[in-house]
Amino acid sequence: MREDMKAVIADTFTEMLDKEDIDKITVTKLIGECHISRQTFYYHFKDIMDVLDWAFRRATEELVKRSLEAEDNIVALKEFASFIRQNRTKLERLLYSRRWVEIENMLTESAAAYLAEIARNKAPDISLTYDDMEIMLKFYACGMVGVLMHYMGKPHLDEEKLIIQMEKIITGKMFPGKNN
- Domain range 2-171, its CATH number among 1.10.3720.10, 1.20.1080.10, 2.60.40.1930, 1.10.357.10: 1.10.357.10
- Give the start-to-end residue ranges of the domains of the chain: 2-171
**pLDDT per residue over 5-14, tens digit each?**
999 999 999 9
**pLDDT per residue over 13-37, tens digit each?**
999 998 998 999 999 999 999 999 9
**pLDDT per residue over 82-131, tens digit each?**
887 788 888 888 888 888 888 888 888 888 888 888 777 777 777 888 89
b/e 66-105 (16+ beta carbons within 10 angstroms → b): ebeebeebeebbbbbbebbeebeebbebbeebeeeeebbe
Q: What is the pLDDT of residue 106?
A: 84
Q: What is the pLDDT of residue 99?
A: 86
